[in-house]
Amino acid sequence: MRGFPPIQIFLLVLTFIVLAVPLSHLTGNAPVKPVARPEKKEELTVKALLRLRYAHRPTRLSLKIDDKELITEIGESPMEIDAKVASPKEGFDVFLNATWPDNTPDTAVTLEIEPDGLDSRSETRWSSAGTFDEVITFSWK
């Protein structure tokens, strides 16, 4: 026995309408909340002492933190530089670039940093072929 198609379509549409009313109340009437934006934290700056050691004096030397050049002239090893670093607990990058005269053997460069109130950290890197270009990341957790 077959049913009458217009009645079946009517019952199907009626079922969808009966289900759509409570679903629209559950999902469609929710108030739209604005997207929460993260608050900007004031970056804490901490005074720090940087100490740069090298065995052979470079002809060119660059030390940058946050795109700020910290070395104005090349001095004798060890060089001590006072700087301000932003939020050392989250970590920061130090960009170190150096070039040595021809026929200089591969040499080590050590960078120590002592931020106020935190332990000192030290990283040593080796040059190759008379050049050195490194990004050194320091972090305290």
The CA distance from 26 to 28, in Å, is 6
The CA distance from 126 to 113, in Å, is 18
In a domain, 119, yes or no: yes
pTM given for the model: 0.61
Over residues 32-41, the pLDDT tens digits come to 778 877 766 5
Give me the domain span that covers residue 70. Answer: 45-138
Q: What is the pLDDT of residue 13?
A: 94
In a domain, 21, yes or no: no
* Tokens 């009626």 -> residue: 14
In a domain, 74, yes or no: yes
pLDDT averaged per 10 residues, the chain (length 141): 85 92 78 73 74 87 84 81 76 85 86 85 86 84 73
**How many domains is the chain built from?**
1
Q: What is the pLDDT of residue 37?
A: 75
In a domain, 104, yes or no: yes
Q: What is the pLDDT of residue 132?
A: 84
The CA distance from 117 to 48, in Å, is 9
Q: How many residues does the chain have?
A: 141
Q: What is the pLDDT of residue 9?
A: 92
In a domain, 52, yes or no: yes
In a domain, 94, yes or no: yes
In a domain, 4, yes or no: no
In a domain, 34, yes or no: no
